[in-house]
Amino acid sequence: MNIFLEFLILFILAVLVVLTHKKLISLDIVSFEGERLEKIEENLKLNLNVFLLKILRKIKIINLQFSNFLDQQVQKISQNATQKNEISKISER
């Protein structure tokens, strides 16, 4: 459940960053020189890309944790099945 809440929070933050980026670009900043406006846009795009990479990295970590959890559960199930199989063989004798 915590994984889904964490993902939801990261998704909301990503949406807020995108909306803020769009709003800043749509503002009337024409009074600045053309180069400065391009630098502002470039910095915003870089910050957005860094933020999205952090989100993707977090999703990858969550995915790895989940796959490790599933592997552990499969190992426990196979151990229990092996133990039950051994017990049934002993009881047959």
Share of the chain above pLDDT 70, in %: 80
For residue 73, give Cα distances in angstroms to 20, 68, 80, 84. 43, 9, 11, 16
Give yes or no for residue 28 having a pLDDT over 70: no
Q: Which residue has the tokens 């009074």?
A: 31
For residue 89, give Cα distances in angstroms to 75, 76, 78, 86. 21, 20, 16, 5
Domain spans of the chain, in order of start? 25-92
Per the confidence metrics, is the pTM higher than 0.75?
no
Name, in order, each residue with C-beta under 8 angstroms of 58's C-beta and a sequence gap of 6 or more. 6, 10
Cβ neighbours, 10 Å, residue 29: 12
The predicted-structure confidence for 49-80, as pLDDT tens digits, reads as follows 888 888 888 888 888 888 899 999 999 999 88
Residues 77, 78, 79, 84, CA torsion sign: positive
Give yes or no for residue 33 having a pLDDT over 60: no
